[in-house]
Amino acid sequence: MKPKALIIRTAGTNCDKETEFAFQAAGVKTCLHHINYIKEKPDFSDYQILCIPGGFSYGDDLGAGKILSLEFICWFKESLQRFVDRGGLILGICNGFQVLTKTGILPDADFRQKVTLTDNDSGRFEDRWVYLKVESQSVWLKDMDERICLPVAHGEGKFYAEKDILDRIEGNHQVVLRYTDKDLNLAGYPFNPNGSLNNIAGITDSTGRVLGLMPHPERFIFKHHCPFYKYKEVFPFGVKFFSNAADYFK
Amino acid sequence: MIWRIDVFAKKKASSSKIASDIGDLGNFKVAGVYTRKVYLLEADLDSEKMNQIASRLLIDPVTQEYSLSEGIFKVPPSDTQILITYNAGVCDPVGLSLEKAVSDLSFEIKSARTASFFELNGLSKEDISYIAPRILYNPLIEHILEYEKAGKLTTLDEFSGKDYKFDLATVDLLEADSFKLKEISKLGCLSLSLEEMTIIQDYFRKLKRSPTDCELETIATLWSEHCAHKTFRGVIEYSEKNSEGEIIKKETINSLLKSTLMRATKELAHSGCVSVFEDNSGVVAFDENNNICFKVETHNHPSSLEPYGGASTGIGGVIRDILGTGCAAKPFASIDVFCFSPWKIAHENVPQGLLHPKRIMKGVIKGVRDYGNRMGIPTICGAVLFDERFLGNPLVYCGTLGILPKNKSFKESQPGDLVILCGAKTGRDGIHGATFSSKELDEHTVGLTTAVQVGNPIEEKKLTEAILRARDKDLFSSITDCGAGGISSAITELAQAHGVKVDLEKVPLKYRGLNYTEIWISESQERMVFFSRPENLTELEKIFREEEVPLTVVGRVTDTHKLELSYQGSKVCDLDMDFIFNLPKLEKKAVWICKKQKDSKIKPKESYNEDLKNLLASPNIAPKDWILREYDHEVQAGSVTKSIYGINRIALSDSAVSRPDLNSQKCVVVGFGINPFYSDIDPYWMAALAIDEALRNVICAGAGLEKTFVLDNFSWASPQDELVLGGLVRASKACYDFSTYFGVPFISGKDSLYNEYDVSGKHIAIPGTLLISAMSVMDDYRKVTSNIFKCVDNLVYIIGSTKPQMAASEYFRQLKITSGILPEVDRNRAKDTFSNLSRVIAKGLVESCHDCSEGGLAVSIAEMCIGADLGVNIFLGEVPGPEGMLDYEVLFSESASRFIVEVKKENQKEFEACLKGLEFGLIGCVCGEKKLVIYSQTNKQVIDTTIAELRGSWMKTFDEFR
């Protein structure tokens, strides 16, 4: 079966088209809709995958992803809960990750915010390529190399949580992507581009079906996306995220 | 009532950035800087509901807390505390978003505004009043909320103006003498000359009535330098004198634009040109489905007064130019080029009324960053240059590229079309922007505060989505942006062929109090105008409602050839289109005095290690990766060559390459040429060299001249000065000569004149600065090459001849030598060099290619080494050029049309055979040792240094910003 993904955009979403392209290239059917269209009939039962792409929803005016997450809670709480319970996949990239944490879909899908993504330690927006250690074999990350590289581009990407929460999600192996240097060592800035606690770049829920990450897999689906593709053989690691989603429903 | 909510971090931390900025200002003993975001809400809600709003909306519960209080001030702030908010009428984007979000929570509030709270411990009240306007706010758009006044406020209405009662104003023009005419122009900020005022007077004498203020404003706007380009389209009496002052050439130029730039394009009749010098940007062919378009704008004047707002509205404006091209193009990349004064000047040396160059630089970069990133348009490349003369007039060039379907490349309109205004509401922003940018700045200009504004990128992002959706459903037939002059120029120009009627009271307003003329000429950002058939309205409204973009029918296209405006049923403007668009041609004088160039030699040295390192550290050469990283240069996933690339990601490319359509193999290459320093000697060669440089940069990537197009952007001082205008004429002539020579047509251009500043008796004029932007279409992105060394043992060539041309070179300017011979573009060889190089790159014979520009071949080779972390040995004796050159000339001369090329040994024969007839030399090879070693013409080591050392010098200049 060809799964169907709903990509939700709103004012300020800006990675929707290339995210849709990446899903389609991997063999996923897509519907890209404005949130106001979905609000008319908030029902996700036609879809197997939900995706919240990157951007600056509502300008990130009250904090990254804040207003969109409020809309999710006000309009979609029940349908989202049903979607998660039914075993659907959710992907939140960058601003989408911020929305998933602020909505409380990550880490526990209980609509209570426990973790956050806050201002980068450098105090500014940065676009740079990072190495990531893949620490899970869950749905989205199945059969991936242990080390991958992807670009990040954000101003509010520092993963932060109180110690008890942090210990719990670490203990549950919900931390699935970590910033490292090129030898997979945990390292400081700029390898960890934002000062994330425990070098966290991405987390899942306890099932692994809901993934939120700051790096942009949809920006590395062609070799030429990589800043050193002319110097060595590179594999466009971003492709795997989307093909894993497609394969999951085969 | 007003509620105040302060949001602060749970872990209180001093802001080291602000503290360090304060440190730059002088010897202040600051003990800690604490900031809070403050929200002011006017609402009839109780504290429980306000607590809900605060806790659910305004804080991040993991990291932040808040406090809630009634009124703007519960207690007077202490001497170390200040609260800053926007001035009445300045756009407050966060306030608007907050109003939207509160309605999601089903609460009703009247209005919301934001403010910033600062506590600067350890400083006195006097210290703070000195520091605050220099670092914390800009009085042109913001102010400090004072306890005495704001403490008593019970409504935020203070910020939204008083009601306006209609009262038609006419200007008594018919009987005015020339003194009175000049006074009317001056008092009304119309920037119209006496000659123009007289023509207007004659027109109204024939009509036997006085003009309304609105009519006069309309004419002033459409005839402004900004909208009408009077200097470039007027008559110029041009003469050239020799250095003895004798006239050697005289010429009457009827429209400099038509006789140089547009003429070149017309004569070239390039088959790739689709729509050039006609629309809001230049349109050229891309592939079987799409065309692409490119526009570069300047936003110099606003950026000098309010760098953040000026730059953000600059980028916002040029994005709308792309949206307003044909029937709307989709923006896919942006570029920016800045010229600033060196940022290390002491605060006391900055003249009164000017901002410190460091603040300008930071503000401009932040403005472009915040707007471009939020729009989701990658800022793919740029350049930054420094010269003291940009102190009062920084230059801010912003450009955007777009892609549009072939069948959407032209506009159509017909009587009966609805005139539709969409996007943001209209306020008093930017009134007189068009006429303002057409005059020199002085201390009094600062009073014209409404000319400065702040952008709201999310408004524009929504607008873009809505327009592109409507375009794809064929719901409108012509569109244009509201730029200088606002709807006055947008509607009038779009309806020029037919005539139009507009009801000004239909225009949605941000706040009360605007009169009909203000509505008409307001330059509020993020608005577009389009024409559509009435039957499309329902579907249009549906799309725009979903995207949350206001859309209003404000008028109708007529067949009267008149511009008719009404307000509440009364006619406020009734002008003939023919009169408006029949601009009087201004006559100006221009003189060019030929200067003799004098060669000058300096004493040769044994080693040029230090000289090379100093050049690499020059702000004009040192890498601006720190700026590029703040731009989202990868969104839309089209980047093929990024500005920052390579294994260590410190290589900087000559140009940027993007794929606007991920389903097509084709890509677009963009490069620049700019060097205002050559202008001091001869603007003719400055312009020729800028074209040469821009073309070199795209050729390096693998593009060919036959699919390359160029754009011109002149930033010049006052054309009222005949010598200044003489330089402009020289530069334009070079544009014609070299555009036709290379066969690359100009497709769009813009000029920004009057870049001068009079302050405390000092007059600063910028050097004549021409930015040439080149854009090429390449058929296959896999053929793109890069500009750093690839592999040990590869051969290194130089193509082109190196001559002792040191005038205004980076090397001579560092040594403060003002004489010397200027480089020239060799019309016998340059084109062949470019064409042959493109051919060998297309054949796959070239591993890497970099042009020689500022700092000459030594800097070029050093950059290729640093980016790759590979070493080379180079032999200057093999560099082609005239006999008897000194080593420093070979190393640092900035002769035109030269490239450093890396070639595999096995390709040597074929490569050399392809270049037969050109000047080139095999000058060395890439080597395993990470060192740059250069041997003199007598085979002595003149440069011998490690790549690490070179990288150190190159990187250190901007370390404070990384």
Q: B267-281, B300-314, B454-468 — which is least confidently predicted?
A: B300-314
Minimum CA–CA partner of B56 in chain A: A70
Q: Do A67 and B629 touch (CB under 8 A)?
A: no
Q: What's the mean pLDDT in A200-225? A: 97
B447: pLDDT strictly greater than 60: no
**Residues of A with CB below 8 A from B548's CB?**
11, 36
Which residues 6+ apart lie within 8 Å of B549 measured at CB?
Answer: B422, B423, B462, B463, B466
Judge if ipTM > 0.85.
yes
How much is the average pLDDT of A165-169?
97
- Mean pLDDT for the stretch of residues B929-952: 96
Q: From the CA of A192, how many Å to the nearest CA of chain B?
A: 15
What is the reported pLDDT for B432? 64
Encode pLDDT of B597-656 as tens digits.
888 899 999 999 999 999 999 999 999 999 999 999 999 999 999 888 776 667 788 899
Three-class secondary structure of residue B541 per DSSP: helix
Give me the numbers of helices (H) and strands (E) for chain A, helices first please: 6, 11
Is there a contact between B458 and A61 if contact means CB atoms under 8 Å apart? yes
B783 touches chain A (CB under 8 A): no
Q: Which of the pair, B446 or B806, is modelled with greater confidence?
A: B806
- Interface contact B631-A127, CB threshold 8 A: yes
Cβ proximity of B651 and B644 under 8 Å = yes
Point out the catalytic residue in the list A51, A156, A216, A225: A216
Residues A12, B61: C-beta atoms closer than 8 Å: no
- What chain B residue is nearest to A37 in terms of C-alpha separation? B546
Cross-chain Cβ contact B17/A162 below 8 Å = no
CA distances (Å), B355 to each of B142, B148, B303, B391, in order?
15, 29, 10, 8
Q: Would you say A120 and A194 are in contact if contact means Cβ atoms under 8 Å apart?
A: yes
A218 counts as catalytic: yes
Rounded to whole angstroms, the Cα distance separating B936 from B448 reads 59
Nearest to B294 by CA among B278, B285, B277, B282: B282
**Pairwise CA distance, residues B609 & B364, whole Å:** 35
Residues with Cβ within 8 Å of residue A118, at least 6 apart in sequence: A156, A158, A160, B60, B62, B63
Tell me: the pLDDT tens digits for B711-723?
Answer: 999 999 999 999 9
**Longest distance between any two alpha carbons in chain B, whole Å:** 88
Asked if B546 and B459 count as a contact pair (C-beta separation under 8 A), the reply is no
Average pLDDT over residues B498-512: 93
- Residue contact B63–A116, C-beta within 8 A: yes
User: What is the chain B residue with the closest CA to A103?
Assistant: B56
Size of interface A-B (CB pairs under 8 A): 150
Q: Note whether A225 contacts B639, CB cutoff 8 Å.
A: yes
Mean pLDDT of B207-214: 95
Rounded CA-CA distance B315/B296 in Å is 9
DSSP E strand boundaries for B286-391? 290-298, 330-340, 379-386
Confidence class of residue B442 from pLDDT cuts 50, 70 and 90?
Answer: very low
DSSP one-letter string for B199-210: HHHHHHHHHTSP
> Which residue shows structure tokens 């043992």?
B793
Beta bridge partners of B42: B2, B111
Q: Which residues of B touch A13 (CB under 8 A)?
A: 376
The per-residue pLDDT for range B808-863, each reduced to its tens digit, is 999 999 999 999 999 999 999 999 999 999 999 999 999 999 999 999 999 999 99
Q: What does the mean pLDDT of chain B come to? A: 93
pLDDT of B152 > 90? The answer is no
| Residue B764: predicted pLDDT | 87
pLDDT at B648: 66
The mean-pLDDT minimum among A166-175, B759-768, B846-855 falls in B759-768
pLDDT grade for B161, boundaries at 50, 70 and 90: low
Preferred mutation among B36, B38, B60 to probe A, highest tally of A CBs within 10 A? B60
**Mean pLDDT, rounded, for B91-118:** 91
Catalytic residue among A20, A51, A71, A94: A94
Facing residue for A218 by CB, picked from B105, B462, B637 = B637
B645 to A228: CB separation less than 8 angstroms, yes or no: yes
Say if the Cβ atoms of A116 and B101 lie within 8 Å: no
Which residues in chain B (667-706) have CB-CB distances under 8 A to chain A? Answer: none
> What is the identity of the amino acid at B63?
T
CATH number, domain containing residue A225:
3.40.50.880
What's the pLDDT tens digit per position in A38-71?
999 999 999 999 999 999 999 999 999 999 999 9
CA distance A104 to B182: 66
Domain of A229 in residue numbering reads as 4-248
**Chain segment B373-418, per-residue pLDDT in tens:** 999 999 999 999 999 999 999 999 999 999 999 999 999 999 999 9
Residues 6+ apart with CB under 8 A from B642: A227, B380, B633, B634, B653, B656
Measured CA to CA, the distance from residue A156 to residue A175 in angstroms comes to 18
Q: Are B669 and B783 a contacting pair, CB within 8 Å?
A: no
Please tell me the distance from the alpha carbon of residue B701 to that of residue B398, in angstroms, as a whole number.
22
Cβ-nearest to B461 among A11, A61, A228: A11
Question: Which member of B143, B299, B633, B850 is catalytic?
Answer: B299
pLDDT at residue number B446: 40
Give residues 86 to 145 of B whose Cβ lies within 8 Å of A. 93-94, 97-98, 100-101, 104-105
DSSP letters along B239-283, please? EEE-TTS-EEEEEEEE-HHHHTHHHHHHHH--TTEEE-SSSSSEE
Q: Count of residues for chain B? A: 962
pLDDT at position B159 is: 58
pLDDT number for residue B645: 79
User: Is B640's CB within 8 Å of A36's CB?
Assistant: no
What is the predicted pLDDT for the residue at B16?
86
CA distance, residue A193 to nearest chain B CA (Å):
11
In the predicted structure, residue B301 carries a pLDDT above the cut 90: no
Contact A231 B635 (CB under 8 A): no
Residue A128: which of B105, B457, B629 has the nearest Cβ?
B629
Domains of chain B, first to last = 2-160 (no CATH), 786-962 (3.90.650.10)
What is the pLDDT, as a whole number, of residue B888? 97
- C-alpha span between B127 and A152 (Å, rounded): 40
Q: Whole-angstrom Cα distance, residue B766 to residue B390?
A: 6
- Specify whether A15 is catalytic: no
CB-closest option in B58, B461, B662 to A21: B662
Closest CA to A180 of A129, A219, A231, A232: A129
Q: Which residue of A has its CA nearest to B9?
A: A118
Best probe of the B interface among A56, A71, A113, by most B CBs < 10 A, is: A56
- Does the structure show a pLDDT above 50 at A236? yes
All residues at 6 or more sequence positions from B825 whose CB lies less than 8 Å from its CB, including other chains: B685, B688, B689, B691, B692, B738, B896, B897
A149 counts as catalytic? no
- The structural domain count of chain A equals 1
Planar angle of CA B222, B277, B691, nearest 5 degrees = 120
Contact A11 B548 (CB under 8 A): yes
CA nearest to B113, candidates B140, B150, B61: B150
C-beta neighbour count of B10 within 10 angstroms: 11
Query: Mean pLDDT over residues B723-742, rounded?
Result: 97
Q: Determine how many CB atoms are found less than 10 A away from the CB of residue B376.
A: 24
Strand, helix or coil at B886? coil
**Rounded Cα distance, B586 and B280, in Å:** 24
Euclidean distance between CA atoms B152 and B508, whole angstroms = 31
